[in-house]
Amino acid sequence: MPDKHYVSVDDLRAGLYVHLDMKWFEHPFAFSHFKIKSQEQIDIIHSLGLKTVRIDPELCDAVPVQSSQTTVATPPSGLTVQQREASAAASPIMVAKRAMMEQMRLRREDAERVEKAFVDTAQTIRDIEKNLYSRPAETVAQATQLVTKMVDSILNAPELAIQVMGDKMGGEELYFHSLNVTMLSLMIARAIALPVDAVGILGIGALLHDVGHKEVPDKILRKTTPLTQAERNFYELHCQFGIDIGKRLKLAAAVLSIIGEHHEFFDGSGFPAKLKAEHIGVLPRIVVIANYYDELCNPPSIADALTPHEALSLMFSKLRPKFDPKMLQIFIRCLGVYPPGTIVQLSNGFIGMVTNVNTARPMKPMVMVYDAEVPKDEALLLDMDREVDVNIAKAIRPMQVPREVYNYLSPRKRVSYYFDAGATRKEVPKP
């Protein structure tokens, strides 16, 4: 085990990478270890009553002021925990830290509320998919009721946040492609201010866009290796199968066009009719983007899955001609460069996962940060819209992070999204 290096708090300067050997709630900083950037941070460390602070020489950009660094097995004592707690009770900086902790508690409550709504909706969709043939009229009415509820919530929300589901809310079996496509399509509809009646049609079409899969053998739908040409030809028939089923269900013509055209690409390279540009309906053009994105993130073989960041980057950089340029631009603008579910490295070296994106401020998402010194259930939630000293540096593939980090962040193997259509974010009153 390497020696621990401590310096006097009087020798601190900008550029030193310090570790505060205190519990996370005993100090006012967002992180328990960080590189000092300002005299203000040094002053705050002084106020904590520590005599010495542990530093990491390998991460430092400077040396202590008087080069008084010493190597010891244990740090010299400063104030006791009881003394620090008593001092903190009246400290304005600790009052601010407690306000930050309360804000994160409220965010965790919001996340639990959204995940419960997701589970309820996913179970409804499971019933719809199971009963569509046996109780068609009743099931179409159930689907319409569900979409109407989602549309009302999304269109009337002061702000819309897209949240990735955690691994504890039902597991991978609650992934529904149709739900993801519906949610993402409605997100675009809100952004372009689509008329309410059209949004309702879009929702039904997105929810039932793959209804023709019922006539395609599972061995084709679930095949994890490339389809043969014969299998591909049969698979492409699902669009026409869907139209035929939709007619029997007495779905509106506009809904049928979504079912029939959700694989048609803007450059004419899609199927089944190789429609091009404006020959594809406006609503199908929306569903095409949401559908393709979700298929990249959640293919039959999980090993082939792209991260949300990779999927969005691929669609923009290499596949752009396939999509309506305006709709694609809006889709990317709503999800941001780092969509929910993306593992990221922050500018200070910490690793986290984007948990949700406010579509009004997509470049400033919420990030859950891995910190071994903070319990997982109390994980630090950074609102990048409020952070001034740290930003997102880059995206990372989940397989590239250490196992303990992966287990802490707990990304689902399949990316499922849901929306928070609650009130504008709650604020903890400033002290």
> What tens digit of pLDDT does each residue of 72-127 get?
444 544 555 555 555 555 566 677 777 778 888 888 888 889 989 999 999 999 99
Q: Where are the beta strands (DSSP E) in 172-268?
A: none
At 91 the pLDDT is: 64
Rounded to whole angstroms, the Cα distance separating 350 from 328 reads 31
Q: Quickly tell me which residue has 């999204």 as its tokens.
A: 417
- Provide the pLDDT for residue 12: 92
Which residues on adjacent β-strands are paired with residue 33?
Answer: 19
Does the structure show a pLDDT above 80 at 429? no
Give the domains, in start order, of the chain with CATH numbers: 4-90 (no CATH), 106-338+412-420 (1.10.3210.10)
Strands of 82-202, DSSP E: 161-164
* Amino acid sitting at position 177: H
Which pLDDT value is given to residue 86? 54
Q: Which DSSP symbol is given to 307?
A: P
Task: Write out pLDDT tens, residues 365-380.
Answer: 999 999 988 888 889 9
Instruction: State the CB neighbour count (10 A cutoff) for residue 311.
Output: 23
Return all residues near 219 (Cβ < 8 A) that are at least 6 apart.
Answer: none
Is residue 237 very low, low, confident or very high in pLDDT (cuts 50, 70, 90)? very high
As a whole number, the mean pLDDT across the chain is 88
Nearest residue to 187 via CA among 389, 359, 413, 64: 359
Residue 184 pLDDT > 60: yes
Model's pTM, two decimal places?
0.85
Residue 418 phi, psi dihedral angles, 5° rounding: -145, 170
pLDDT, greater one: 77 or 205: 205
Whole-angstrom Cα distance, residue 94 to residue 28? Answer: 5
Question: What is the phi/psi pair of residue 270, to 5°?
Answer: -90, -165
- For residue 186, the number of C-alpha atoms closer than 13 Å in the C-beta half-sphere is 35
- Tell me how far apart the alpha carbons of residues 53 and 51 are, in angstroms, rounded to a whole number: 7
Q: What is the mean pLDDT of the segment spanning 391-402?
A: 94
Is residue 45 scored above 80 in pLDDT? yes
| pLDDT for position 430 | 35
In which band, very low, low, confident or very high, does the pLDDT at 64 lie, cut at 50, 70 and 90?
A: confident
The secondary structure of residue 170, as a DSSP letter, is S
Lowest mean pLDDT among 19-23, 115-119, 270-274, 301-305: 19-23
AA letter at 230: A
